[in-house]
Structure 1
């Protein structure tokens, strides 16, 4: 892959062209997504300069604060200006851990999944399946997956063609889960989740979940797979599978309540 070309295509299709509200150009452009307190609220893309950045940041804070909504500024390492992270922190944003933006061509990964004995993959289509996904999430990450479960269920209900969810079951117990999201009109399918319960790691389940989602994406005509990978854990696995890094993304979170 030509990584520079793929990065530009990713920015064009998945960020500048993402569903949401394009704001500007008085001080600078952003694309932002506004939902409700249960959904995802975020600035997805920005076109800023050293002269316009602070005013645009302040405007997004005012927008979401007026609605009483916490939100995320999804920063990428190739975004400008270079000191945008410093400006976001100065405005009250708190960064999470950075993640590598990894991309691979779908065709090379669309192979039959290979699972350990006693494990099977089940497609999720309803609330009962989402409960299994949340249980797998809780086991894998040690955090409460209730909110993300509700968000995925909402998407399955409202736009089922844009998401595919799969759970790995050992007997009847969920041991891993993952999803792929499909944005119409783009060439990228996004991979999310993929966490595996600690006692089941190292047995090829993650690789099988990637292969399953790659086959689904290929069948729907998507040319690339994209995943945000934790730098020290998921990134090496994806690299071994053939993914390449095109950027680093860091969520900068703004809490209305914390800012008073």
Structure 2
């Protein structure tokens, strides 16, 4: 099994292309965000940030969801960049939940 190929499929199909029912998908240069139509928590399913812009992008998303009056979750996976993204989010007040696993079978 080609792990890189599986991760690419997962990333594209479930993090970039997916639009869950009840949400409006919005794409910017740096995130794919999902805003709830029914006053549930929104979420960021994917991000494209680096060491130079991560802090600014995190603050922009905090401001954006705050302006909507909507709480949100930032989904982070082990391959997301920068490697210390979870630490940056924690410093901005995000609660870090327990790690989850992804299992794939041929």
TM-score (norm 2): 0.87
Give the deviation of 1:103 after TM superposition.
1.9
CA contact (8 A) 1:33 1:42 kept: yes
Aligned counterpart, 2:8: 8
Match of 1:59 in 2: 60
Unaligned runs of 5+ in 1: 106-260
Matching residue of 2:32: 31
Rounded to whole Å, the distance in 2 between the matches of 1:32 and 1:104 is 29
- Local SS of the residue matching 1:82: coil
Q: How does 1:76-225 map to 2 (within 5 A)?
A: 76-105=77-106
Q: Once the 2 structures are TM-superposed, how far is the Cα of residue 63 of structure 1 from its aligned partner?
A: 0.8
Relative contact order, higher structure (CA 8 A, sep 6+): 1
Bigger strand fraction: 1
For residues 71 and 41 of structure 2, what CA distance do their matches in structure 1 show?
Answer: 9
> 1:3 Cα deviation (Å)?
1.5
Gaps of 5+ in 2: 20-24
Task: Show CA shifts across 1:143-190 (max 9, x none).
Answer: xxxxxxxxxxxxxxxxxxxxxxxxxxxxxxxxxxxxxxxxxxxxxxxx
Do 1:41 and 1:70's aligned partners in 2 also have CA atoms closer than 8 Å?
Answer: yes
Helix, strand or coil: the match of 1:50? coil
> Where do 4+ consecutive residues of structure 1 move more than 6 Å?
none
Distance 1:37 1:65 in 2: 16
User: CA, structure 1 residues 97+37, in 2 after alignment: closer, same or farther (shift >3 Å)?
Assistant: farther
Q: 1:36 Cα deviation (Å)?
A: 4.4
Greater Rg, structure 1 or structure 2?
1
Q: Deviations over 1:49-96 (max 9, x none)?
A: 100101110111011111111110000011000011110011110111
Please name the residue that 1:21 is paired with.
Answer: 26
Q: Over the residues paired in the alignment, what is the CA RMSD in angstroms?
A: 1.4
Q: Is the 8 A contact 1:64 1:71 kept in 2?
A: yes
